[in-house]
Every structure is written in C-alpha cells, then in structure tokens.
Structure 1
Amino acid sequence: MFDKPEAVAEIPTGPVPVPERVRELTGGRELVPIWVNGLGGLTFRDMGGPGNASASYVKWVAAGTPELDLAEEANRLGWARAQGAAVPEVLSHGADEAGSWLITRALEAASAVEPQWIAEPAIAARAIGAGLRVLHDTLPVDECPFEWGIPARIEQFEERVASGESPGDWHRAYRNFTVAEARRRLHDAPDPDRLVVCHGDACAPNTLLDAAGNFAAHVDLGSLGVADRWADLAVAAWSIDWNHGPGFDTLVYEGYGIDADPERIAYYRLLWDLG
C-alpha cells in the first residue's frame, strides 16, 4: 500500500463544528465543511444569501497555531492576484483572541481531489502540471517580496529536531536515516534549475480544475515565495500518488512540459517532509 505522510489534510467525512466567530462572520448561514488540514485548520463553503450574493470560502485557524498564518496568506494572495495569477480574491481577513480567518470569493472550479477528478487521475495530473507552469511563468521573480528558500526550511527542520522529533516521525522513506544523515543530505542541495515564484504547497487539493478538466486556479498560497521550480514540482507529483494512486506522477511533469529530474525530485521531497 502506498504510504502517504501522516497528519495530511483531507475532505471531512462527518460533521465539523463551526467556530462561533465563523458563525458570526457568515451571518449564521448554513456552512459546508470542505477541508480539514493536518494542523486543525478548517475551511467552509458559504453559499451566500441576502445581502451577500457571492458564494465564498472561509478559512479558520484557532489561536496558538503559528504554522498557519492567514494574514500572510492574504498578503500573498493579494500580491499574486495583482500580478495576474489565477487565485481567489480576498474578501476579508482578521484575527481575535479565538483565532484568525480568511474569506475568499468562490471560483467556478473544483479541487483536483473532488470525486470526479479522483476518478480521472491522468486528467488531474496533467492539469496540475500545466497549472504550475502557468503560475511559474506568470509571477515575476525579481518583484516577489516573499522567499521559500532552502536555508529557512532547514532551520525549520532543526527546530523540529530540537523540539524532540525523531526519524520515527518522518515519512517511511526516511525513517532509516539518522538525524545527522538527514542533516547532511539537506545541506547537500542541488544547484537551482530555474528560480520561480513557487506555490509553496503544490499538493493536488490546491489546484482547481474547470468542468472540462483544465487548470483553472490555485488556492492555499500561504507559503508562496521564490525557490527552485522543483520545490513545487517534486511535491505536486508526489501528491498525485497520495491522492490518486501511484503511476500518474510522470503526467504532472508532462503537463508542465519537462522531463523528470530524479536528483532534484529526491532532494525536494526530503526537504518537504523534514523541513
């Protein structure tokens, strides 16, 4: 059986309590829970209503979850949209003592992990690759104020180790490494292939497809920043394995228009899991 990372995000299969602040922000309307991430962040769909004709999505993160900074995500979405990227419009965001929220306008598109695209993995894989190529070709590296570079991500690895994390907490592919071996590999990074403005979380759920199965938009850009394009590509193709089953990862590269690069794929998957 294919082993996906632990604490992954997923579509909820049962009821999800709506935080009180989210109820207030949406006027008490009925909300549909559509996503729960590995750190407990929630996303709801608000179909709108009188005085709020547009449907929207509401992301919520409880206070004390520094890994999920919705204000920073709002900043990145606003910047990327201003540069012409296909991303949602931010309607509002804020925070109080209970948590933080981000509300974006709904798009006429569906996540690549919705049932119709889980049933069409080849279409989803190619669209994910094509979408990353559009993003990478659209956003201007020289004007990007955000970084997603290797040194900061290695610092996160060191923080995790210092907090008591051990190789037993890592993906199965890396559990035979010692901390020293993992550290050595992380510091032995390949030269950049092409610096781009990366999505930063290019997993399959964060690509939206139109009704014909073409790339439509990207969501969840909280880590967007400049990095080698393989930092996105390696994880996007890995995510196809987690979400759609093995055997379709090469179609992500095909959709992007690039041949697989085993050295960079191996490095950026290790960095993703440990950093």
Structure 2
Amino acid sequence: MSWKGLSSGEACSDDAGWSGEPHPDIFVPRAVRDAAGPEPIRPVWRNEAAGVTFQVGVGIDRRFVKWSPPGGIDLTGEAARLRWAAAHVTVPLILGMGSDDQGSTLITAGLPGENAVTARWKADPAKAVAAIGAGLRELHEAAPASTCPFDWTQPARLGEILSGAGRLDPGDWHPEHQDLTVELALARLEHPPDVDRAVVCHGDACAPNTLLADDGTVSGRVDLGALGVADRWADLAIATWSTNWNYGPGWERPLLEAYGIEPDPERTAYYRLLWDLGPRRLRT
C-alpha cells in the first residue's frame, strides 16, 4: 500500500509495507500458537516490516506476542528499551522472548486501556489527541535523557539513511515529498535545524502507540523499538502528522497545545522528511 492509499487508522504506511489492523485469518506462526496454548489468539496489528502483534487470552490477564519474521524488526533492541523505560514511564512488562526458523517473538503483559485509534477514540478525536499530546510531554519530562543509553539523534539517523541511499525511491515517500529528487532530499537533510531540546523520544509517536484508559488519560505506551535521545521535535513532528492519518485534518495544533508548545514549521518539516526517508524496519 502506498502513501496515496493510506486510510484512517493505518498509522504509517508506504510501498515497502503497510501498517494497520491485519486480516483475522492472517498466518499465525508456530511460536505464537505455542505461547497461546488453548487460549484464543487475535491478530491486532501488522507493522511495516511484515511483523504481527497477536493478543493471547482476554481480559486483565491477556498478553501480547509480537512476532517478527527473519530480517524484520530487531526485537532484542525493543526489549532492551522496554526494560530501561519501565523505570520511568508505564510500558509493557516483558514476559519472555524466543526465536526459531520462522522468526522471533517478544511476549509482554497487557496494559489497561486500548490504543488511540480504535473506533471509540476515532469518534472522540478531541479527547484522544489531547491525551496523546499530554502523554508525549509526560514521557519527555519523566525519562532522563542524561542517562538514556539509546541514540535516535539526527546524525545517527541520517548516517543510516546515507548508508542505504542507493535504495531510496521517491515513489515510496509521502506525497508532500514526492516532488523531491533523492539528491535534493538528502541535501536538505544535511542541514538540520538547531536542537530545541534533547529528550528521550518514543521513536514511533504515531497515535496507535499510545494506550488510553476509559477516562481518556494515557495508560501506557507500546512499540518502543526506536526509543532514544533526540530533539523533541523528532517525536512531535510525527505525532502531529499522525493525527491527519488517523483523525483527519485540524488536529495538529490541539496536540501541540496539549503538549504545551507552539508550532515550529521548520523543525516539523525537517523531522518529517527525516522520518520519511528513514528505515521502515525500525517502525513498529
């Protein structure tokens, strides 16, 4: 699915893959079946690297099995980030990990609430967007950048993009970037804005990765496989962009108001381009 075909509820998507709710009859890997035993299995999310997250069981004892195919997302990196972040904010508890010839798995306990793009929250975007903005500010304030061992800064991300520059294809990019050549896009990325404030960023601040409790407050965060220190606009640029895909136009400013910051068009544009050219395998 291309960016042109992106529909509401599909958080981040491109021709290299798509993310969103998978078909109920999607393939269930052997490791997921083994982890579930007699309990029911429900696929709940597919990421851009063809990995799938499954819910096992129901109710307060439910757990989630994230499965990544060979060559997909590095779940050991996500596990390390979850363990570090758990000391500072609410994230899923790791219950186990494994790998076999079909791929790797990360099993976590369920958190209260549901993701911010379920039908309930898409019908109440004002409350959902306010919670996402406030929750992002909470993460940025609570997690100490000075002791975070993970790097998501502009130099590190641009270095990874440049290492794979030969595979870049403007046809994969968001429509607002498709008029750029690879050379022009890379030239723009060579001149980043000054860092506003270095914080621990989520790394994939699209709306579905925030969980909301019944009262509309943040109950947790998921999919932290790219968590690391960066300018806070690296998260804000994507969180605001995601409101367009998931709730429609007009919700970017309310998210920034809930966060407590004025719009910054220059930083927003830069970090959206950096995101658009970045490796899809890091997106969970």
Q: TM-score, normalised by structure 1?
A: 0.93
Contact 2:24–2:42 under 8 Å retained in 1? no
> Structure 1 segments of 4 or more deviating over 6 A?
none
Find the counterpart in structure 2 of residue 272 from structure 1: 275
Q: Per-residue displacement from partner, 1:36-56 (whole Å, max 9, x unpaired)?
A: 11211101111169xxx8210
- The CA RMSD measured in Å over matched residues stands at 1.6
Show structure 1 runs of 5+ residues with no match: none
Q: Are residues 1:258 and 2:258 paired?
A: no
Residue 65 of structure 2 corresponds to residue 64 of structure 1 = no
Question: 2:39 — aligned with what?
Answer: 29
1:145-164: CA deviation from partner (whole Å, max 9, x where unpaired)? 0000112211232244313x
Shift of 1:108: 1.2
Q: Partners in 2 of 1:245 and 1:112 — Cα distance?
A: 14
Q: What one-letter code is carried by the residue in structure 2 that aligns with 1:71?
A: T
Output the amino acid matched with 1:93.
M
What is the count of residue pairs matched by the alignment? Answer: 267
Q: Match for residue 73 of structure 1?
A: 78
Query: Are the equivalent residues in 2 in contact too, given 1:23–1:29 (CA < 8 A)?
Result: no
Whichever residue aligns with residue 70 of structure 1, its letter is: L
For 1:9, the equivalent position in structure 2 comes to 19
* CA displacement, residues 126-150 of structure 1 (integer Å, 9 cap, x when unaligned): 1111110010001011110000011
Gap regions ≥5 residues in structure 2: 7-12, 279-284
Query: What amino acid maps onto 2:99 in structure 1?
Result: A
Q: What SS does structure 2 have at the residue aligned with 1:117? A: helix
Task: Provide closer, same or farther for how the CA distance between residues 13 and 95 of structure 1 changes in structure 2, counting only shifts above 3 A.
Answer: closer
Structure 2 equivalent of residue 158 of structure 1: 162
Query: 2:91 is matched by which residue type in structure 1?
Result: V
- Asked if the contact 2:75/2:106 (under 8 Å) is kept, the reply is yes
Find 1:249's aligned residue among 247, 252, 260.
252
| TM-fit CA distance, 1:251 | 1.2
Which has the larger displacement, 26-35 or 201-210? 26-35
User: Counterparts in 2 of 1:31-50, with a 5 A limit?
Assistant: 31-47=41-57
Counterparts in 2 of 1:1-275, with a 5 A limit?
3=4, 4=6, 5-6=13-14, 7-47=17-57, 54-65=61-72, 68-82=73-87, 84-163=88-167, 165-275=168-278
SS at match of 2:85: helix
- Distance (whole Å) between structure 1 residues aligned to residue 58 and residue 215 of structure 2: 26
SS at match of 2:61: coil
SS in 2 for 1:177: coil
What letter is aligned with 2:104? S
Identity %: 49
Contact between 2:36 and 2:57, CA under 8 Å: does it hold in 1?
Answer: no
Aligned to 2:281: none
One-letter amino acid of the structure 1 residue matched with residue 71 of structure 2: G
- After superposition, what is the alpha-carbon deviation per residue over 1:179-202, rounded to whole angstroms, capped at 9, x for unaligned? 221111101100000000000000
After TM superposition, the score normalised by the length of structure 2 is 0.90
